Amino acid sequence: MKPACRILLLILIVIFAVVCTASLSDRKTYIIHMDNSKLLELKSANKQPHEWYEEILQVTSTTSADEGEEALVPELLYTYETTMTGFSAKLTSEQYQMLTDIDGVLHAAPDQVRSLQTTYSPDFLGLELGQTGLWNEKPASDVIIGVVDTGIWPEHISFSDTGLSPVPSRWKGTCEEGTNFSVTNCNKKLIGARYFHKGYEAAYGRIKSTLEFLSARDSRGHGTHTASTAAGTAVPGASFFGMAKGIARGMSFTSRIAAYKACWEGNCVDSDILAAIDQAVADGVDVLSLSLVGDATPYYQDSAIIAALGASQKGVFVAFSAGNSGSLPSTVGNVAPWVMTVAASSLDRGFLGQVKLSNGKTFRGASIYSGNHKKTKQLPLVYKETAGVEKTTEYCLPGSLSPSLVKGKIVLCMRGINDKTEKGFVVKSAGGAGMLLLNTPNYGEELVADPHVLPATLLGASSAKVIKEYLTQYRNLTAAISFHGTTYGARSPKVAAFSSRGPSPVDPHIIKPDITAPGMNILAAWPPMSSITRLSSDKRRSHFNILSGTSMSCPHVSGIAALIKSVHTDWSPAAIKSAIMTTAYTRDNRGHLISDLSASSNTKHATPFEFGSGHINPDKALDPGLVYDITGDDYLHYLCSINYTNTQVTILARRKYSCPSNKGKIAVQPGDLNYPSFAVIFDAAKKGKTTTYTYKRTVTNVGSGKISYKVFLDQPKGVKVSVEPKVLHFTKMGEKQSYKVSFTGTSSRNFCSFGSLIWVSGEYSVRSPIAITWQ
C-alpha cells in the first residue's frame, strides 16, 4: 500500500472511531413514565407491557437511523409496573426526543445519582421488654421491612431466625442468587434479597468484582448496618472493640427483612432505586427504608419520590434520610409530603477522649481509639506551618505533612475535605504520635466518634478556637490525650450539625424534615470482611461498627413504623406518620428545649426546620389519641394547589389528570393538605399589610370512644393564631372532626418564627408545630 493511501486509511479509521465514540457517549439512561390507562388497554388485549415498550424503542431505533446507516439500538434496562408505570432505557439524545412525542408517554427524565447518608438506642428511646410499651404489644413478626441500600451480610448473627415463626404466606419475594449468594442464605428473618445494577453499569461501566459482589451480598457495610438497626435480632454482648457493650437489637427485632441492593461503590442510580422500590412493593413489604438522598427537585422530576407515592398509595410506609448536608438552611432532601423525612440527633451515650494542655486547661472530646495505651504523654503540638509546608496542611490531607516536623508530636487537624479517620492515617504515616481533630464553626459542637488508628480525639468548635489561641500564646505548648471509653448521661438529644435542614428548597408549604431520631454514634451489624473505616489501608475488622448519619436515624423510624403497623394493621402510612409526628417531644433529658449542635456556643435551640415535629417517642406513638389521615387524591389536589400543571400532576397520578377548579367543592390551597404540621408563608413585600390565612384540618379519633379535646396554642412571634372550634367532642372510635385555624400577621422583613398547636385531653397531647416564614 502506498504511503498516501495508508495515511488516508488511518484518517478514515480515526474519523470512524471518533464518530462511534461520540454516538456511544451520547447515550444516557432515561426513565420513561407511561400512561397507566394505556397499559390497562394493552393488558385487556393480552399484550404484556415489555412488548409495548420494546415496540416503542424499535420505532425510535428505526427512525433515528439515516438511510444506509445501522441504527444504534436502544437498550431496555427495567420495566416498572407496581409503584410507577413505565421503563428505563439507554438512549441517544435524538431517540429521547422522538420518544417524548409518542402517544402514551407522559414524561421522560434523565437518570440521577443519589448518595448514601452515612446498641443502645432502643434504651434511649424508652423501648423495654416488660409489662407495657411498644415492644410488649402484638409481635411484629408478620411485618416486613424492605431496605434499599448496599445489600446485606446474610450470615451475620443479627439476622438469625431463631425463634421466628414461618415466613408470612402473603410474601411473594425471593432470594436471588448471585456472587457468593444463594437461596440458602435467606431464612425466616432475611426472607428476601435482590440486586439491581443495570442503571449503575449503564452510567459507570462494569461493576468491579474486586470492590463489589454482583449479588445482594454487602461489601461496604452500609446496608448491613441499616438493616440491623431497623430489624436486627437481639444479640447479647455486642460491642465495637469493647465499647458500647450491651444487647444490640433492631427497633422491630421480630420483623422480617427484605434486602434490595441498588447502591454500588457508594452511588445509587435512580433507575436501580426505582426498580428496587417497584419490586419491593410487588413482593409485599409493609415498610420501605431508604437511607439515601439526592438533590431536591420538583416532585414530577424525582423518580424515586414518584415511586414512593405509588408505594404509599398501596399502603407501604416510606422513610427517607433527610441528608447529611447541614448545617446550612434549605439543604434537606426527600421532601415530599407522602414520605417521612428523618433528621439525626444524639444519644446520651458518648465515647470520651479528653485533652489536657500543659497550661492546665482540659477539654472533652469524642474518640473510639482502642489502642493498648489509654493515655499519651505530654507531647508537643504542631499545626499548619509547624506541621508542613503545603496549603492543605491544616486539613492533614495525604502528602501534606512533613515527617521531620511531626514525628513524635500531636498534630492539630481541621475537620473537613477528607475523611476524619483518613487524617489519622496521614498523621501516623508521617510519624505523628497523636492527633487533635478540630471542628470548624460549621460543625459546631457535634462530637462524632471514630475508630482512630492512633491516639486521637475530636473536639468541638469552641474548644478548637481556644486551643488555637493558646498555641499563639504559649511557644512550647504540649498536650496529653486520655481515653475513658463509653460514658452515659450526656445532655441529649441534640440535633447533629451534619443533619440537613429546612425549609424545603422546592416546597416551602410543608415543614421538612418531619422528625428526628438517633443518628450519632450508632452501634449496629457490620460485614466481618469489610474495613471498619472503608479505607483500603485499614485492615481492622469487626462484627459490629459505630456510624453516624441520617442513614442511621432513618432505619430507627422505619423499625418503629413497623411496630406501629403490627398493632394498628388498618392504619394508612399517613396515619402512622401522623402518630409519630404528633407525639414527638421537643425537650431534652434536662428539661430544656432540644439544642442544635451546629451552634458553636452550644446554646442555640433547634427549630422545626432542624427537627420537624421533634424527637421520636415510640411508646407514645403507639397510642396518639388523634391522627391526621391523608388519601392519595389529597396529595394530587395538593400538587394542584402548589401550581403544578395538569401534565405535571399526571406524571405522579400515572393517569390523565385534571386539577379541580377553584370554584369546585375541593379546596386547593396548600395549607389545606391534612398534614400534621403547619407551614405558613407571608409575603414580605406587602409591607404594613395585614393578611389572614385560614386552613382546615380533620382529625380521626383513635384513642378512646367518648372523649373531648381542648386546643392550646404556643403563639409564634409576629402572628396571631386562632382556632375554631376550641373544643372537639368525639362519641366513638374512628369518628372524624374538623377544625379551622387562622394565622393573621402583618408583612415584615424576612425572618421565621415558630410555635405549636396542641389538642389536649387527659393523657393525650396531640402537637403540631407551626413555622411562619416571611419571604
The catalytic site residues sit at 149, 222, 551
CA distance 532 to 130: 35
CA distance 291 to 551: 4
CA distance 48 to 63: 23
Provide the sign of the torsion angle of the four alpha carbons 419, 214, 145, 507, taken in this order: positive
Peptide bond preceding 492 in cis form (omega within 30 of 0): no
CA distance 231 to 236: 15
- 323 torsion bin: left (phi>0), alpha (psi -120 to 50), beta (else): left
Query: 752-761 and 707-714 as β-strands: parallel, antiparallel, unpaired?
Result: antiparallel
Mention every residue, 6+ apart, whose C-beta is less than 8 A from residue 429.
none
Instruction: From 585, 757, 738, 760, select the one nearest 676 (Cα to Cα).
Output: 757
Query: Are 191 and 121 spatial neighbours (Cβ–Cβ below 8 Å)?
Result: no
**Grid coordinates in use for 279?**
419490586
Q: How many CB atoms sit inside 10 A of residue 709's CB?
A: 25
CA distances from 728 to 313, 699, 708 (A): 29, 10, 5
Q: Is 47 helix (H, G, I), strand (E, B) or coil?
A: coil
CA distances from 393 to 352, 377, 398, 400 (A): 26, 24, 9, 5
**Grid coordinates in use for 81?**
409496573
Q: Which amino acid is residue 265, in one-letter code? A: E
CA distances from 351 to 177, 365, 484 (A): 40, 8, 7
**Grid coordinates in use for 603?**
446554646
Residue 164 phi, psi dihedral angles, 5° rounding: -85, 150
Which helix (H) or strand (E) is 121 found in, with range?
A: helix 121-124
Q: How many CB atoms sit inside 10 A of residue 344's CB?
A: 34
Question: Which ranges in 65-92 belong to alpha helices (H)?
Answer: none
CA distance 317 to 442: 33
Q: How many CB atoms sit inside 10 A of residue 1's CB?
A: 8
Q: Which residues of 236-262 are buried (b: 16+ CB within 10 A; e: fewer)?
A: eebbbbebbbbebbbbbbbbbbbbbbb
Residue 339 phi, psi dihedral angles, 5° rounding: -115, 155
CA distance 496 to 519: 8
Is residue 68 exposed (0-12), middle (13-18) or buried (19+ Cβ within 10 Å)? exposed
What is the DSSP code (8-state) at residue 643? T
CA distance 225 to 176: 21
CA distance 543 to 689: 62
What is the DSSP code (8-state) at residue 528? T
Secondary structure (DSSP) of 285-351: -SEEEE-EE-----GGG-HHHHHHHHHHHTT-EEEEE--S-TTSTT------TTSEEEEEE--S-EE
Query: 190-195 and 256-261 as β-strands: parallel, antiparallel, unpaired?
Result: parallel
Q: Is 118 helix (H, G, I), strand (E, B) or coil?
A: coil
